[in-house]
Chains A and B, each alone.
Chain A
Amino acid sequence: GESVGLHLPTLSVQEGDNSIINCAYSNSASDYFIWYKQESGKGPQFIIDIRSNMDKRQGQRVTVLLNKTVKHLSLQIAATQPGDSAVYFCAEIGYKVIFGPGTSLSVIP
């Protein structure tokens, strides 16, 4: 199989702080990107997406930034809460879907 992403397996953040999760993608032709959250025992859950003609997109407490020059994607979570603890995956969609290896976010109360 194929995967994409910086190997950053674990991120620990104090409750209330902002979290930044990074991802590198491989295909400059990918035109759509998604961030997923996967809690223990559950399937990945859609968080936010961004198309390649955008640099930034904001949701509720989450912001995705896309830097096409360096093929980098980031997810920012504002005021991180214990319920944000999970594994976060980026996915790039071109002619196929490629998932990043995932980052485990741990929120310290």
Chain B
Amino acid sequence: KAGVTQTPRYLIKTRGQQVTLSCSPISGHRSVSWYQQTPGQGLQFLFEYFSETQRNKGNFPGRFSGRQFSNSRSEMNVSTLELGDSALYLCASSLADKRGDTQYFGPGTRLTVL
């Protein structure tokens, strides 16, 4: 079974631009979660989508948004990019038919904001 895939793997943007990242979950997985990983803050939860609905949200500003499609693929968008948004953005999928399902991570998208 193919793992979680994320595109693009690397991205360079400038301040003020917006960016869209894509995640394809493992086949059959209905939950997709997004995380931001930085050296200073570690892994921080952004949001979780399940059956096209945002089910949980972390403490990030409204510039960070996401959505999930009927095939469970998910996108996250960051508008008005700031230098501090430079990070590795990880997507994780799970069956999520009950709390505590194991999340499987993709390789991440490395975003650099100049």
| Interfacial residues, chain A to chain B (CB-CB below 8 A) | 1-3, 31-32, 34, 36, 41-46, 49, 51, 89, 93, 95-102
Chain B contacts of A1 at CB under 8 A? 36, 41-45, 58-60
| Interfacial residues, chain B to chain A (CB-CB below 8 A) | 4, 33, 35-36, 41-45, 56, 58-60, 90, 92, 99-100, 102-108
Report yes or no: B107 in contact with A42, Cβ–Cβ below 8 A.
yes
Nearest A residue (CB) for B46:
A1
Least Cβ distance of A16 to chain B in Å?
29
Chain A contacts of B33 at CB under 8 A? 97
Nearest A residue (CB) for B99:
A93
Chain B contacts of A44 at CB under 8 A? 43, 90, 92, 105
Instruction: Please measure, in the bound complex, the distance between the C-alpha atom of A102 and the C-alpha atom of B108, giving whole angstroms.
Output: 17
Chain A contacts of B102 at CB under 8 A? 34, 46, 49
* Known A93-B99, A97-B33: A43·B44 in contact at CB below 8 Å: no
Instruction: Please measure, in the bound complex, the distance between the C-alpha atom of A97 and the C-alpha atom of B104, giving whole angstroms.
Output: 13
Report yes or no: A99 in contact with B105, Cβ–Cβ below 8 A.
no
